[in-house]
Amino acid sequence: MGSGEVVGAEDEAAMVNALLQGDERAFEWLVQQHHTTLVRLALRYVHDPAVAEDVTQETWLHVLKGLPRFQFRSSLKTWMSQILMNRARTRARRDRRSLPFADAWLATLAEGEAAVDQDRFVASDSPANADRWASAPRPFAPEERVLAQETQALVERAIADLPVAQREVITLRDVEGQTAAEVCNTLGLSETNQRVLLHRARSRVRAALERYLSDRP
């Protein structure tokens, strides 16, 4: 398998079988493909690169130990992400840098906040008009400005400041590129909850960008 190659179901089964037989080359390939992504995901919880690396190393150990129990109910990537996130949450709680996921999830549902002012949407009880803009967001500045290093840093900060549940969803969807189904599987969410969390997260990040760009000359 070459670098960056997408692994299909049959290839994934062969990969797991090779790992169970102690094939070091298969494990090296797996690490090469996913280590950086797992470290980046860990950083959403622990914020310290050295700690994120430790969490990822712990994850690889748990992957190897848990492989005999892997039942292909999800992709190998999703399963490894679940292990990483559980390890990272535990470490973050221990370091007092994050709320437990369950607490953050309940807070997110309970707060019922509007990430964007409601008067910017069409006032309608019709599902067909739900979330339609009455006052559309203004276009962002030229691409060079949006992609500037300071703007990227702002996006990173905005994501880091999100409630945990929202941060997890937008990280997996928009940063790691997982599909909605994969995110639901990884986080144990319904499709509706995943969609609501993603909408709130994207709205908050966009609002932060709008404020930043409107303040610039």
Tens digits of per-residue pLDDT, 172-203?
Answer: 998 888 899 999 988 989 999 999 999 999 99
Would you say residue 35 has pLDDT above 90? Answer: yes
CATH 3.40.50.880 for domain 9-94, yes or no, is no
Residue with tokens 């964007």: 116
Parse the chain into domains and list their residue ranges: 9-94, 101-215
Q: Look up residue 167 and give its amino acid.
A: R
pLDDT (average), residues 160-165? 90
Would you say residue 6 has pLDDT above 60? Answer: no
Number of helices and strands in the chain (H, E): 10, 0
Percent of the chain with pLDDT over 90: 39
Would you say residue 18 has pLDDT above 60? Answer: yes
User: For residue 186, with 0-12 CB atoms within 10 Å meaning exposed, 13-18 middle and 19 or more buried, which class applies?
Assistant: buried
What is the fold, at CATH topology level, of the domain defined by 101-215? Answer: Arc Repressor Mutant, subunit A (1.10.10)
Q: Which residues contact 209 (CB under 8 A, 6 or more apart)?
A: 140, 146, 151, 154, 155, 158
Secondary-structure breakdown of the chain: helix, strand, coil percentages, each rounded to the nearest 5: 70, 0, 30
Rg (CA), the chain: 20
Q: How big is the chain, counted in residues?
A: 217
pLDDT (0 to 100) of residue 121: 59
Measuring CA to CA, how many Å separate 136 from each of 9, 127, 142, 176, 216?
42, 19, 18, 28, 20
Percent of the chain with pLDDT over 70: 70
Measuring CA to CA, how many Å separate 42 from each of 29, 91, 110, 190?
20, 10, 26, 23
**Does this model's pTM top 0.85?**
no
Q: Quick check: 83 and 63 in contact, CB under 8 A?
A: yes
What pLDDT, in 10s, does the model give residues 114-146? 555 555 555 555 555 555 555 555 555 555 555
User: Whose CA is closest to 109, among 154, 165, 42, 187?
Assistant: 165
pLDDT (0 to 100) of residue 26: 92
Residue with tokens 């607490």: 103
pLDDT (0 to 100) of residue 87: 92
pLDDT (0 to 100) of residue 65: 93
User: Whose CA is closest to 169, among 79, 108, 99?
Assistant: 108
Average pLDDT taken over every residue of the chain: 78
What pLDDT, in 10s, does the model give residues 81-121? 999 999 998 898 887 644 444 444 444 443 445 555 555 55
